[in-house]
Structure 1
Amino acid sequence: MAPQVTLFSNTGVPNPAKIAIFLEELNIEYEVIHRSLGKGGPDGAQSAQYLELNPMGKVPAIVDHTNNDFSVWESAAILLYLAERFSPDGKYSGKTLEERAVVSQWLLFDASQLTPNIYELHVYKRWHPVKDLDPSINEHYKTEIYDLWSMLEHRLERQDWMALDRMTIVDIALIPWLMLSNFLRLDLKKHPNIATYIGRLEALPSVKRAYNHHFNELAQSSMEAADRKRDLIRDNRWESTIQNTSILRKNGFEFDYNMHRTHVRVDELLKICPNARVGG
């Protein structure tokens, strides 16, 4: 069957996962096309063709083949569009004016407050080349996140879902970023309602299908820190931040410019680049 929707994605970042989850929830036939972030060329998010679709040069973006190939970018806008297009009864976006207002306010809260702070911490923890230089940056974003989490924790004392008395696009928008809590070493013990909420989200069949089919790398980042470290030790592969990537290329190693990292064996790395900073 021809896809109803094309999703432009990148498997290592959370926002496209929101859209895949919702497409799974809606039982929509869709295809996923990978776009390399920060690159031109035919498969890059900075290619002229893709910039015509999404001038931001980011993912996600969709093309709705059931609506004259209409395209939408920005994950919150995509969720709203898909909800209205494929679930016009308001199940996921609100059935009344009041429900739609509540969904909108929480969706905008996520897009303008919660996700940006988790994103900054994620970038800092995963990719920043001097992340051990100033730990106050790490503490700043954690403090901001915990302040915002206090609102979520209070909200979840009274209900199972964030916006309404059922799952909505707000919950779907929150899933991928909250699932990074363990990787980011955020303290869920002090936020038991959020911890329960994350478990409820992870158990959704649509979430499992989306992650199993398209977001294995992101799922790896969502693992418990101890499990992730054990896998890294078993494979003897570590994230490495180095400055002279040409040395690696000359020795046959691939370097991902999007993520500013490479994966090599520690002993192999130190042979060719003795001053490399290696961390796990």
Structure 2
Amino acid sequence: MSHGKQFTLFTHRAGPNGWKVVFVLEELGLTYESVYLDIDKGEQKEPKHTQYNPNGRIPTLIDHKNGEFVLWESNAIIQYLSDKYDTEHKISVTGDDKYHELQWLYFQASGQGPYFGQAGWFLIFHPEKVPSAVERYKNEVKRVFSVLDGVLSKQEWLVGGKMTIADISFITWNEFAMRRILEEIDCEKEYPAAAAWHKRLMDVPSVKKAWAERAILANQ
């Protein structure tokens, strides 16, 4: 494994969770090499990856300049990156706001990612149609968007009056949901504040750059 760059990121060309880490790495100007695992072939479960991540899922990050420090779980990774390398607090906060930042990271990890992922699975990938499961998880997607919309109708960003890792953590699953899960819904009309927030995030140069790279890789 080359250590020419500070970080190695085990990830997937299209999967949502790895790209939020890329957004943070790009936003902080950190150097990294992405190792794309083929999930269809089960590469994430092979020893070359599980030696670092016993859970056998992506993403996994190695910080070569911090004693080969290894970390997995996407929100733990972006919190580590912001705590250790965002010294100017460009995308992080301090004081009591830090706990609000953590609040949103936990909500994303427990309330958005799993439900949006299950909605996508039963709607798109599950070999048999299970209408009750589709309905349950789509309703959870709508509920999460309603929570976000209610908060963002009163403020521009989730924490501290600026874009932080809290906002960044939601980008990829929101994009997936708006394009695939809720494609029959006009999200700009149904969730105007959340939709406007998502557009602001997608227009951030570091996010736009990474998402354009993802589009190329996802089609390979």
User: When the two structures are superposed, what TM-score results if normalisation uses the length of structure 2?
Assistant: 0.90
The reply on whether 1:151 has 2:163 as its aligned counterpart is no
Cα deviation, residue 88, structure 1: 2.9
Query: Contact 2:17–2:74 (CA<8 Å) still a contact in 1?
Result: yes
Larger RCO: Structure 1 or Structure 2 (Cα < 8 Å, ≥ 6 residues apart)?
A: 2
Instruction: Determine the structure 2 residue equivalent to 1:261.
Output: none
Aligned equivalents of 1:196, 1:112: Cα separation in 2: 23
Query: Contact 2:138–2:181 (CA<8 Å) still a contact in 1?
Result: no
**Which segments of 5 or more consecutive residues in structure 1 lack a partner in the other structure?**
221-280
Work out which of the residue numbers 18, 21, 24 in structure 1 matches 2:23: 21
Query: Contact 2:14–2:214 (CA<8 Å) still a contact in 1?
Result: no
Instruction: Determine the structure 2 residue equivalent to 1:165.
Output: 161
Cα RMSD between the aligned structures?
1.8
Q: Deviations over 1:153-175 (max 9, x none)?
A: 11111111122200110111100
- Say how many residue pairs are matched: 213
**Greater helix content:** 2
Aligned equivalents of 1:103, 1:125: Cα separation in 2: 31
Cα deviation, residue 125, structure 1: 2.3
**Which segments of 5 or more consecutive residues in structure 2 lack a partner in the other structure?**
none
Q: Deviations over 1:168-225 (max 9, x none)?
A: 101111000111112212531211111111111111111111122245466x8xxxxx
Q: Superposed, which structure 2 residues align to 1:1-280 within 5 Å?
A: 2-37=4-39, 39=41, 44-96=43-95, 98-131=96-129, 134-180=130-176, 181-186=178-183, 187=185, 188=187, 189-216=189-216
Instruction: Determine the structure 2 residue equivalent to 1:256.
Output: none
Aligned equivalents of 2:120, 2:217: Cα separation in 1: 14
Residues 5/34 of structure 1: CA separation in 2 closer, same or farther (3 Å cut)? same
Aligned equivalents of 1:146, 1:108: Cα separation in 2: 18
User: When the two structures are superposed, what TM-score results if normalisation uses the length of structure 1?
Assistant: 0.72
Aligned equivalents of 1:129, 1:103: Cα separation in 2: 38
Letter in 2 for 1:157: S
Residues 215/51 of structure 1: CA separation in 2 closer, same or farther (3 Å cut)? farther
Moved over 4 A (4+): none
Aligned equivalents of 1:185, 1:216: Cα separation in 2: 24
Letter in 2 for 1:183: R
Cα deviation, residue 4, structure 1: 1.2
Residues 215/163 of structure 1: CA separation in 2 closer, same or farther (3 Å cut)? farther
Aligned equivalents of 1:164, 1:139: Cα separation in 2: 35
Query: Contact 1:39–1:47 (CA<8 Å) still a contact in 2?
Result: no
SS in 2 for 1:72: strand
Aligned equivalents of 1:58, 1:174: Cα separation in 2: 19
